[in-house]
Amino acid sequence: MPDARRFGGFASGGAPEADTTAEAAAPLIAAHRRVFPLADAGLLRHAYAVADHWHAGQMRKSGAPYITHPLAVAILLADIGMDTTTLVAALLHDTVEDTGLTIGQVKAEFGAEVAVLVDGVTKLDGSKWGDHAEGETFRKMILAASIDLRVLVIKLADRVHNLRTLGHHPKREKRERIARASMELLVPFAQRLGLYDFQREMEDLAFATLAPEAHERVRTLLREAEDERRAALGELITGMRAELAATGVRAQVQARPRHLYSIHRALPAEASESGGRLRPAETARVVVVVEGTEADCYVALGALHGRWAPVDDSFRDYISMPKYNMYRSLHTAVLIGGEPAGVLIRTRAMDAVATYGVAARIREAGGRDGKVSADLARQADLDWLNRLLAWQPLAAPGDFLDGLRADLSGGGIVVFTPAGVPVKLPEGSTAVDFAYTVSSATAGSAVGVLVNGMRKSMENRLAHGQVVDLITGPYADPPDSWLAAARSGHARTHLKAAIASRMADEASVLGRAAAAKQAAALGGDLREHEDNGTAFSVARRLGFADLDALYEAVGRDQLPVVEFLGHLGIAVSQA
Mean pLDDT of all residues in 67-72: 95
Q: Which residue has the higher pLDDT, 200 or 127?
A: 200
- Higher pLDDT pick, 140 / 380: 140
pLDDT (mean) for 372-393: 69
Residue 15: predicted pLDDT: 45
Q: What is the reported pLDDT for 10?
A: 42
pTM exceeds 0.75: yes
Which position among 97, 134, 243, 548 bears the catalytic label? 97
Cα distance between residue 508 and residue 501, in whole Å: 10
DSSP state of 459: T
Q: How many H-runs (helices) and E-runs (strands) does the chain carry?
A: 31, 10
Query: Would you state the pLDDT for residue 9?
Result: 43
Flag whether pLDDT at 180 surpasses 70. yes
Flag whether pLDDT at 448 surpasses 80. yes
Q: Would you state the pLDDT for residue 11? A: 39
At the topology level, CATH places domain 7-195 in Hypothetical protein af1432 (1.10.3210)
Q: Cα(472)–Cα(453) distance, rounded to whole angstroms?
A: 15
Q: Would the CA dihedral through 422, 425, 428, 432 be positive or negative?
A: negative
According to CATH, where is 3.30.460.10 located in the chain? 213-356
CATH 3.10.20.30 residue spans of the chain: 411-487
Q: Report the alpha-carbon distance of residue 381 to residue 400 in Å, rounded.
A: 22
Residue 429 has pLDDT above 70, yes or no: yes
Find all residues with CB under 8 Å of 302, minimum gap 6, and list them: none
Distance CA 9, CA 14 (A): 5
User: What contacts 396, CB < 8 A, 6 or more positions away?
Assistant: none
158 annotated active-site: no
* Most confident of the following: 276-280, 377-381, 534-538: 534-538
Q: pLDDT averaged over the chain?
A: 85
What is residue 268's predicted lDDT score, i.e. its pLDDT?
65
Predicted confidence band at 377 (pLDDT cuts at 50, 70, 90)? low
Residue spans in the chain of domains classed CATH 1.10.3210.10: 7-195
- Return the higher-pLDDT residue of 290 and 274: 290
d(CA 546, CA 75): 58
Q: How confident is the model at residue 360 (pLDDT cuts 50, 70, 90)?
A: confident
Question: Which CATH fold would you assign to the domain 213-356?
Answer: Beta Polymerase; domain 2 (3.30.460)
With a cut of 90, say whether residue 238 has pLDDT above it: yes
Q: pLDDT tens digits, residue range 544-568?
A: 999 999 999 999 999 999 899 988 8
Over residues 149-153, the mean pLDDT reads 89
* Rounded distance between C-alpha atoms, residue 88 and residue 408, angstroms: 29
Kindly report, residue by residue over 79-115, the tens digit of the pLDDT: 999 999 999 999 999 999 999 999 999 999 999 999 9
Rounded to whole angstroms, the Cα distance separating 299 from 243 reads: 11
Query: Residue 210 — very low, low, confident or very high, per pLDDT cuts 50/70/90?
Result: very high
Tens-digit pLDDT profile for residues 509-542: 999 999 999 989 888 889 989 888 899 999 999 9
Burial class (CB in 10 A: 0-12, 13-18, 19+), 97: middle
Of 86-95, 134-143, 150-159, where does mean pLDDT reach its minimum?
Answer: 134-143
What pLDDT, on the 0 to 100 scale, is given for residue 501? 86
**261 falls in which pLDDT band (50, 70, 90)?**
very high
Q: Report the run of H or E that residue 316 belongs to, with start and end.
A: strand 316-317
The pLDDT of residue 159 is above 60: yes
Give the residue with greater pLDDT, 468 vs 227.
468
396 pLDDT band, cuts 50/70/90, is confident
Region 344-368: what's the mean pLDDT?
85
In the residue annotation, 97 being an active-site residue is answered as yes
Q: According to the model, what pLDDT value does residue 239 have? A: 94
Length of the chain: 575
Using the Cα atoms of residue 554, residue 560, residue 562 and residue 564 in order, give the sign of their dihedral. Answer: negative
Are β-strands 284-290 and 251-257 bridged in parallel, bridged antiparallel, or unpaired?
antiparallel
Mean pLDDT along residues 478-485: 88
Per-residue H/E/C for 155-211: HHHHHHHHHHCHHHCCCHHHHHHHHHHHHHHHHHHHHHCCCHHHHHHHHHHHHHHHC
In CATH terms, the fold of domain 411-487 is Ubiquitin-like (UB roll) (3.10.20)
Q: Is the pLDDT at 347 greater than 90, yes or no? A: yes
Mind listing the pLDDT tens digit for each residue in 1-44? 444 444 444 434 344 455 577 788 999 999 999 999 999 999 99
Q: Is there a contact between 524 and 561 (Cβ–Cβ < 8 Å)?
A: no
Give the separation between CA 529 and CA 276, rounded to whole angstroms: 80
H/E stretch holding 461 reads none
* Residues in contact with 156: Cβ distance below 8 Å, sequence separation at least 6, in sequence order: 186, 189, 190, 193, 195, 198, 202
Question: Cβ distance 128 to 140 under 8 Å?
Answer: no
